[in-house]
């Protein structure tokens, strides 16, 4: 699951409305919650651009940006194997982790 991209009904910041969008599972917090990063095809957004060259299995319809500043906790029940899109290569996952740590000023990476 971690390092995989799924299509889910992602809640907006106010948690009142939802929008179907791909998300990258970043971390499993516990059996009920996961941390995800949304993806967008708007290549002008802040984040990390990924292409099918970054994909281990599956594929993307278009180049996308992993919106690193938008780390969000969601209910794990929103993630379903039937909605799996792709899995990132390990090198890409490490690149995203480093960018997250840079943004959040991690000390241990």
pLDDT tens column, 54-88: 999 999 999 999 998 888 899 999 999 999 999 99
Structure tokens at 87: 């899995």
Separation between Cα atoms, residue 49 and residue 51, nearest integer Å? 7
Range of the domain at 60: 4-104
| Averaged pLDDT, 44-63 | 96
Kindly state whether residue 109 falls inside one of the protein's structural domains.
no
pTM score above 0.95:
no
Separation between Cα atoms, residue 95 and residue 88, nearest integer Å? 11
* Dihedral sign computed on CA atoms, order 30, 91, 94, 25: negative
Domains in the chain, number: 1
CB atoms within 10 A of CB 31: 7
Phi-psi sector, 51: left (phi>0), alpha (psi -120 to 50), beta: beta
Kindly state whether residue 56 falls inside one of the protein's structural domains.
yes
| Averaged pLDDT, 45-59 | 96
For the domain that residue 68 is a member of, what is the CATH number? 2.30.30.110
Kindly state whether residue 98 falls inside one of the protein's structural domains.
yes
């Amino acid at each position: 699951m971690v390092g995989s991209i799924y299509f889910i009904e992602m809640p907006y910041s106010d948690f009142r409305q939802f929008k179907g969008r791909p998300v990258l599972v970043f971390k499993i917090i516990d059996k009920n919650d996961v941390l995800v990063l949304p993806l967008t095809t708007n290549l002008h957004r802040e984040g990390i651009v990924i292409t099918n060259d970054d994909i281990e299995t599956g594929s993307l319809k278009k180049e996308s940006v992993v919106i690193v500043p938008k780390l969000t906790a969601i209910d794990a029940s929103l993630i379903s194997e039937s909605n799996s899109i792709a899995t990132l290569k390990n090198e890409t996952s490490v690149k995203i982790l480093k960018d997250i740590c840079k943004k959040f000023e991690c000390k241990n990476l």
